A and B are shown apart, each in its own frame.
Chain A
Amino acid sequence: MRILLVQPPLTPAGPVEPPIGLAALGAWLLARGHSPRILDLELFQRLQRVQDWTACEQEFERTIADFGPQVVGVTSMYSNSLHAARLISRAKAANKNIVTLAGGSHFGALPRQSLARHAELDFVIQGEGESATSQLLDELEGNGEWSAVPSLAWRRGDDIAINPPSKLIDLAELPDPWTTVDQGLLDLTAYLATTGARPGRRVAYLEAGRGCPFECSFCATAPFWHRRYRVKSVERIIGEMRRLHRAGYERIVLVHDLLTVNRRFVRELCEALLDSKLPVEWMANSRTDISLDGILPLLKASGCWKLFFGVESASSRVQEQINKRLDPNAAFSTVANLSSHGLTATCSFVIGFPDETADEIGLSIRAGARLKLLGAETVQFHRLRIWPPAPLSEAGLPRSFDRTALEIEFPYVDVPPQDMAEIAGSPDFFGGYFSTWTAAGDAAQIAQVEMFAHHTVALAPMTIYALLALRPRQFLPAFYTAIARLGPLVRAGLDWDAGRLMRNWRAIAPYLNAIAESVGLSDTEFRLVAALFDYEDERVRFTAVDETQGDKDSPRQFVSAIDIPEAIRRIQREDALGEDLLRPTAILFRKNADDGFSSFAGPLPRPN
């Protein structure tokens, strides 16, 4: 059958990666004799260089007219499911005989509500899509026995029937998703054209496997894959990496909820990658309680550059509450160990869990700052979002509409008023855009903490660490007071790719100053914090010099009021920051030929 697989627009800007889910499904259907075509409207829009939903709809209609699909299948997340629904309506308007099908993380998680809301939607597939979709196409060609298609939600008269889930497939049965490139369904050069990255830094995603065995209460992904860990073979992954490298990608994100849970597999993968001599870098997800001791040099030798860790919270109580049960201290030793092997990390925290206190959020921000100083490349802060089928989505927590949560994720910069109203009026269907109550602040305050912590840990981790170490209980109330006095941080005023450092620094520095002035620091403590702030101000100005002056202000030499190398060591070890650190120190920053930086410290020159 001819089936058009559609990716609606996802994000307002940035590189577009090849859609690995649709590639896997397309390859699966090709292997079973069907005729799929992929329409990636995210790519279309980026190549058009204009955000234009009307143009997307027109492209969709052109494709339908050209291809004449018998089935249109649309994938979507919560952020773009309104657009997915509109495409489904357009498909029926173009030809009422087209069968419409939806899947993905939103419609697939809420099949009954999806069919009830959208009269033009014929079928929804829950969870893993490959087997169910091909069986549905077989039934469409055959007897129309919908009840025989596992994981399918369908209309039975006035009712909606939901079939039992399909057996998870053996990933060895999945054909190479990049056969879709050979068959003309995807054009990798078009995706590469959107990266904007310099050679050596072009990133593609590759599905290494599926499923995480853990049961974190806030996670929607693990139950989506039935919590069963599956992984593709080492040979298969390397073959796909080789294909992507030939296409021009040098950095591969191995997509798997928790790749490193199988240490033996990781070892085999690294050994094979090293022997393959493939000049690519790769990263994957891990957990801080998974020991990689003894194989980190192998990870480094195989091209691994980074691991991702969901740390979530630095509070043991919260760790228990969310059923993650990580030892908060494990994150520090893990990141320090990675750094010594030349590997970095992205560490992600979630704030705003039910009953989470302001002190506990402060603990997480302080941990994030320390992780940054231990070598984490990025520390992220996200406020809690509850999406079905996460266990927490069934807890009946009181929630209120979180407008900015929607604005962050919406595929267009501005959310049209009618879309805003539709989502705000549908708490059951768009649950992730509704915040739950937290003891630490209201939804607007937690959104401000999210922005402030994210950018301040990136630019001034020492200053924010010191404030939280010296006055942990006063920090968040002081931040809320600063927001009230200075006005809120404005998301549109911040650069989220951290490319324009001065813009972000100018936005957050006044809040840091306001907090330092209002948390009741002693004179010595204030001098310590001020000295760290001044150093970090110099560092931001040095690294942002191209942005501010257009030339290279290197080397840059100045006097710091504090012994910076020792302050870094103490924060890394979580030792106390005392008055003895207040020793004037000469600092020199230098830009290196390889685009990196060097930093030097020494005693002040003696006066002549």
Chain B
Amino acid sequence: MREAMAVTGYIASSEVPNIRKASYVDVRPERDVSDVVARVKGSDVEDVRQGSTEGGLTLVQLVLRTGASVETVQRTTVDVAGMRAFHDPVLNRVRQEATAKQIMV
């Protein structure tokens, strides 16, 4: 057993077969969250663990190569220009940080 970094979340089911060939994949931290994603280079993915599929989204755990980088990409809409999103846990459901996490493999 060893430690590794992994990104866990949801991607379009059609992208699953080509994850490692893709220039990058955007992983949603939650099924219903699209305004923030973890962006991973396909070549940085060492292993893909595939979970359940529902509504065109598949739950995946991407185990990353040592030294891989993960970008957190946040999208903001025009109507809130000049304001920054903040997380009020009473108002918003808990959602996973769009980052790589340490796992045991």
Contacts and interface: CB of A to CB of B under 8 A. Distances in A.
Interface residues of B, number: 38
Interface residues of A, number: 55
Given A568-B88, A589-B91, A600 B101 contact: no
A165 interface: no
Nearest to A459: B90
Nearest to A539: B91
Interface stretch (B18-26, B39-47, B49-57, B65-73): B49-57
Contacts of B85: 598-600
A597 B94 CA distance: 11
A368 to B, nearest CB: 13
A373 B94 contact: no
A601 interface: yes
A543 B51 contact: no
B45 to A, nearest CB: 15
Contacts of A595: 32
Contact of A599 (B60, B92, B95): B92
Contact of A298 (B30, B96, B103): B103
Interface string A532-576: 000010010011000000000001000000001100100000000
Interface string A269-303: 00000110111100000000000011111101111
A303 B59 CA distance: 9
A342 interface: yes
A408 B93 CA distance: 29
Contact of B83 (A275, A278, A602): A602
Contacts of B80: 588, 590, 600
A594 B32 contact: yes
Given A274-B51, A303-B51, A342 B30 contact: yes
Nearest to A535: B88
B3 A294 contact: yes
A279 B86 contact: no
B86 A601 contact: yes
A375 interface: yes
Contacts of A542: 91
A338 B101 CA distance: 12
Given A342-B96, A596-B93, A597-B92, A297 B51 contact: no
A343 interface: yes
A115 B82 CA distance: 73
28 contacts: A274-B51, A279-B54, A294-B3, A294-B104, A297-B61, A297-B101, A297-B102, A298-B103, A303-B59, A339-B94, A342-B29, A342-B97, A372-B90, A374-B89, A539-B90, A542-B91, A590-B79, A595-B32, A596-B32, A596-B92, A596-B93, A597-B91, A598-B92, A599-B87, A601-B83, A601-B86, A602-B84, A605-B82
Given A277-B51, A372-B90, A596-B92, 19 more contacts: A277-B52, A279-B52, A279-B53, A295-B103, A297-B103, A298-B61, A301-B60, A303-B51, A340-B97, A341-B97, A373-B90, A375-B89, A539-B91, A543-B91, A564-B88, A565-B84, A598-B92, A600-B84, A602-B83
Interface of A: 267, 274-275, 277-280, 293-298, 300-303, 338-344, 372-375, 377, 458-459, 461, 536, 539, 542-543, 555, 564-565, 568, 586, 588-590, 594-603, 605
Q: Which 10 A-B pairs have the closest CB atoms?
A: A342-B96, A602-B83, A279-B52, A600-B83, A565-B86, A594-B32, A294-B104, A344-B94, A375-B94, A301-B61
